[in-house]
């Protein structure tokens, strides 16, 4: 168990996107571009980042570029506590085998970076209709095929075996309409995988924002926290009008959204949670909000662990 001050709380680098200033893919950009972006995060007080593949896809980069990336990290005084794969499903009909290979590559790279978690999910690329929206979750996107669930379990267990050999863990990110799209589905899936190196990422924020009926958030957390080993943590405003059936949601800092994370984090600790946190936020100054969220999480940890 970490102390409150030692607990890894990373910034997700997703807000930077994967396009370099010159229009090329960020993975092909000069190391100075990576350094500039990392420096912005370090200046906000972060000492850990999550280099999601939606930013710099380490799993598909040549070795010399990975070494460059490691050097930039060291130069900027940053560490990696987790590496997330975003919209890179290992059972994608077109790219599943390619994504599986990238996941294996990340499992081999993670220990070199000091990361203890490789986070995967079954969500897939945004649809054209989702890309038109102010918030992509306003319309439905990909829905997992039930017939591919056994393959998803088999490949997840395969990744778990590899992760265990490398002394790290796999975390499955909760996301609507996937095999881990509800608390019950997520618990069922991780039980069917049945591997000690595979747990859940209780990203209930992905569900709370949806414009559809939703169980009380604490009820959802109670189901998944006992299986959780990593946490993409974010919050939203949520409003429901039972008379009209209308919903509204928008990203909010952890302290102000509908989920009371002071209560949820304390409950997670009671249930034995000991994994890293990764701060996420959409819209506005995402990085600035993530920095505020980090400080909030650390204060909650400090309070809870001092008792």
At 168-185, the pLDDT tens digits run 999 999 999 999 999 999
Q: CB neighbours (10 Å) of residue 96?
A: 18
- The CA distance from 274 to 242, in Å, is 38
The pLDDT-based confidence of 1 (bands split at 50, 70, 90) is confident
Q: What are phi and psi of 108, to 5 degrees?
A: -75, -35
Go through the domains of the chain in sequence order and give each one's CATH number: 9-305 (3.20.20.150)
Instruction: Name the pLDDT band for 273 (thresholds 50, 70, 90).
Output: very high
Averaged pLDDT, 62-69:
97
Does the pLDDT of residue 166 top 90, yes or no?
A: yes
DSSP code string of 238-283 = EEEETTTTEEEEEEE-TTTSSS-HHHHHHHHHHTT----EEE---S
State the CB neighbour count (10 A cutoff) for residue 184: 12
- Alpha-carbon distances of 284 from 14, 15, 287, rounded to whole Å: 13, 10, 9
pLDDT at 276: 98
Which whole number is the average pLDDT over 67-81? Answer: 98
> Rounded to an integer, what is the distance from CA 94 to the centroid of its chain?
23
Q: Residue 225's pLDDT is what? A: 98
The mean per-residue pLDDT over the stretch 43-72 comes to 97
């Amino acid at each position: 168990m970490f102390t409150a001050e030692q607990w890894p709380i990373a910034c997700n680098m997703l807000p930077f996107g994967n396009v370099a200033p010159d229009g090329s893919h960020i993975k092909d950009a000069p190391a100075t571009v990576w350094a500039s972006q990392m420096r912005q995060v370090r200046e906000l007080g972060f000492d850990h980042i999550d280099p999601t593949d939606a930013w710099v896809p380490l799993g598909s980069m040549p070795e010399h570029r990975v070494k460059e990336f490691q050097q930039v990290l060291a130069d900027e005084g940053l560490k990696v506590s987790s590496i997330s794969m975003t919209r890179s499903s290992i059972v994608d009909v077109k790219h599943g085998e390619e994504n599986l290979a990238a996941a294996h590559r990340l499992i081999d790279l993670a220990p070199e970076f000091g990361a203890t978690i490789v986070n995967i999910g079954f969500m897939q690329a945004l649809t054209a209709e989702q890309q038109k929206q102010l918030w992509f979750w306003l319309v439905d996107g990909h829905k997992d095929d039930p017939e591919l669930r056994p393959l998803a379990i088999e490949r997840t267990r395969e990744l778990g075996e590899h992760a265990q050999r490398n002394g790290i863990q796999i975390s499955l990110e909760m996301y609507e309409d996937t095999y881990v799209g509800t608390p019950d589905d997520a618990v069922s899936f991780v039980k069917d995988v049945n591997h000690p190196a595979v747990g859940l990422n209780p990203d209930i924020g992905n569900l709370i924002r949806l414009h559809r009926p939703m169980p009380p958030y604490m009820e959802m957390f109670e189901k998944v926290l006992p299986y959780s080993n990593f946490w993409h943590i974010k919050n939203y405003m949520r409003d429901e009008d039972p008379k009209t059936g209308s919903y509204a949601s928008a990203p909010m800092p952890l302290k102000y959204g509908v989920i009371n994370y002071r209560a949820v984090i304390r409950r997670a600790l009671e249930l034995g949670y000991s994994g890293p946190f990764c701060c996420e936020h959409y819209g506005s100054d995402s990085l600035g909000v993530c920095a505020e969220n980090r400080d909030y999480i650390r204060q909650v940890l400090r309070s809870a662990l001092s008792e």
